Amino acid sequence: MKKVFLLAIILIATSFYCSAQESRFQGNLKGSALPGIYWDPHYTADLSLGWRFNAKRYLGLGTGCHWIKEWDDSDPNRSNGFVPAIPLFADYVRYFPFSKHPRHSFFLGMEAGGAYYVKDLPLKYETKRLFPYLNGKIGFDFGIYKNFGLNVGFNLIWGCYQGMSMTGGGGHGVAMTFGFRF
């Protein structure tokens, strides 16, 4: 089993290497807002730095700042403001360039990581400070000048408010995003 897993990793790495026609360093800067339709209000500002293997694949690591609304224990409908968190995540994006305009593309992606909240997580439930989450991304990337582009899309967020237990329940939501690629 270990040999099959190692072989799969080698094949994936080789495919990335062999298709690296335009490989280069790339950064992604984005912000999103989840206003509380499906989940507690949640806002993010993230920076991801990584490697663009070719016109279609990007893999990076990121951090930034997240803010989530804190609720008053005596009145669950009253907010005490927002609590900041520091996220660390792996970021993968798959681009699908348009045939007539290859600088513009549709993209799908995934972030996987966790956010460390400065104090106990402010949701209405008993929570931990480490908040693991998955963040699916879908949208459009518009090339503006050389390697600089504008991204607009949606984040599909799933988080777990019971610490590292992925079965302990979680929150979910859809957030509008706006960002830049450089």
Q: Is the residue at 118 inside a domain?
A: yes
Its domain, for residue 143, covers 23-181
**Does 176 score more than 80 pLDDT?**
yes
Could you tell me which residues come within 8 angstroms of residue 178 by beta carbon, excluding any fewer than 6 positions away? 30, 31, 32, 151, 152
Q: Which string of DSSP letters, residue by residue, matches 113-160?
A: EEEEESSS--SSS---SEEEEEEEEEEEEEEEETTEEEEEEEEEEEEE
**Under DSSP, is residue 76 helix (H, G, I), strand (E, B) or coil?**
coil
Any domain includes 7 = no
- Report yes or no on 44 lying in a domain: yes
pLDDT, one tens digit per residue, over 19-75 is 545 789 999 999 988 775 545 677 889 999 999 998 899 999 999 998 877 666 666
54 assigned to some structural domain:
yes
What CATH number should be reported for the domain holding residue 108? 2.40.160.20
Total count of domains within the chain: 1
Does residue 5 lie in a domain region?
A: no
- pLDDT at position 33 is 83
